[in-house]
Amino acid sequence: MKHRPIGYLYLIISTIIYASYGWFYRSTNAFLPFSQSLFKYIFVILIISIFFINKTVIWQKIDKKDIKWFLIWIIPCSFQPIFSFIAFNHLPIGTNYFLYYSTMIIGGIISGKIFFKESFSIIKLFSLLMVFIGLFFIYHSDLTLITNIYVVLSLITGLLIGFWNTLSKKVSGKYPELQMIVLDSSSSLAIGLIGSFINQERLPPASNLSPWLWLIGFAFANLTATYFLIKGFKTVEAQKGSLILPLELVFASIIGYLIFNEILKPEVYFGGILILLATILPALKKQNRTPSNIF
């Protein structure tokens, strides 16, 4: 418990990096979905292998009782990078973020209740409502929610990520973070390899270096964000952590303003403030009384 404040910091760092993902997805759209996922995770594993080769990190033998948790954590979310790539390239970014975060938060809260027996208090409920109101103010003008496969993919992606974020807590206290990332990346790599082979996806030509360089940068970003996310959820409740992660939207808006000169509307500022407050509220210690639990 004494390490909880640093856990919040790790999650915030992770959200800052995740805020750049929309930019990376758009910058690597010269790749097709499965091949993009395949080579991104090849680069991730190559980077991590350096730490194991020089013995900066030591591989830990996995206990039999933990195998099921690794499988539950890894396999369902192995399709997520492909779903995200497709959704980001076929839906407006705002619509995709709204759908994605709506189900991600719900997934994290359900996971916290089922797998970690966390109570859902009135404060958490109030924070959840503030997040959804903030999401609506930021993206209400971009919500052309026509029922199509891309909307479904975005909703599924968010739900999978909500469980993936929190289920890392089941094993993160026993194994190095980089080992966990290798196992997680290997599953996504395998699915990318099979999918790209079946679909016979062509790669960008070697003469076109830009998408390859962007993909290497994406691999570094993915590795770093996942590393801090796993470390953060070690000491932060699954439900509270899930309410922190929507800060990514605030940072994404800042990145859009600084890099792309996107002018933010007043309601975007208002929505961002609500999300920021919703993030802070559950993290505050309540003095002299125990919070009321809804369930």
Question: Residues 193-211: pLDDT tens digits?
Answer: 998 998 899 999 988 999 9
Q: Of 272 and 215, which is predicted with more confidence?
A: 215
Residue-wise pLDDT tens digits, 142-180? 555 555 678 788 888 888 888 988 999 999 889 999 999
What pLDDT is stored for residue 64 in this prediction?
93
Residue 222's contacts (CB-CB under 8 Å, 6 or more residues apart) are 40, 44
Whole-number average pLDDT of the chain: 83
Position 20 pLDDT exceeds 70 = yes
What pLDDT is stored for residue 264 in this prediction?
63
Q: Which residues pair with 207 in a beta bridge?
A: none
CA 119, CA 54: separation in Å to the nearest integer?
43
Position 287 pLDDT exceeds 50 = no
The answer to whether the CB of 282 falls within 8 A of the CB of 243 is yes
Query: Can you tell me the mean pLDDT for 3-15?
Result: 86
Query: Can you tell me the mean pLDDT for 55-75?
Result: 93
Distances (CA, A) of 31 to 28, 41, 200, 210, 274: 6, 14, 12, 11, 37
Distances (CA, A) of 157 to 71, 164, 177, 240, 241: 18, 10, 23, 20, 18
Sign of CA dihedral 269, 271, 275, 278: positive
Percent of the chain clearing pLDDT 90 (strictly above): 35
CA 275, CA 130: separation in Å to the nearest integer?
6
The answer to whether the CB of 101 falls within 8 A of the CB of 135 is yes
The answer to whether the CB of 12 falls within 8 A of the CB of 244 is yes
Take residue 27 and report the two structure tokens written for it.
């910058």
Take residue 288 and report the two structure tokens written for it.
């002299």
What pLDDT is stored for residue 260 in this prediction?
65
CA 76, CA 57: separation in Å to the nearest integer?
27
DSSP 200: T
Take residue 227 and report the two structure tokens written for it.
């590393």
Position 6 pLDDT exceeds 50 = yes
Q: How many residues does the chain have?
A: 295
Half-sphere exposure for 255 (CA within 13 Å, toward CB) = 16
Query: Can you tell me the mean pLDDT for 284-289?
Result: 50
What pLDDT is stored for residue 139 in this prediction?
66
Q: Of 5 and 42, which is predicted with more confidence?
A: 42
Position 285 pLDDT exceeds 80 = no
What pLDDT is stored for residue 83 in this prediction?
83
User: Distance from CA of residue 72 to its chain's centroid?
Assistant: 17
Query: Can you tell me the mean pLDDT for 237-256?
Result: 82
Percent of the chain clearing pLDDT 70 (strictly above): 86
The region of weakest confidence among 32-46, 75-89, 155-169 is 75-89
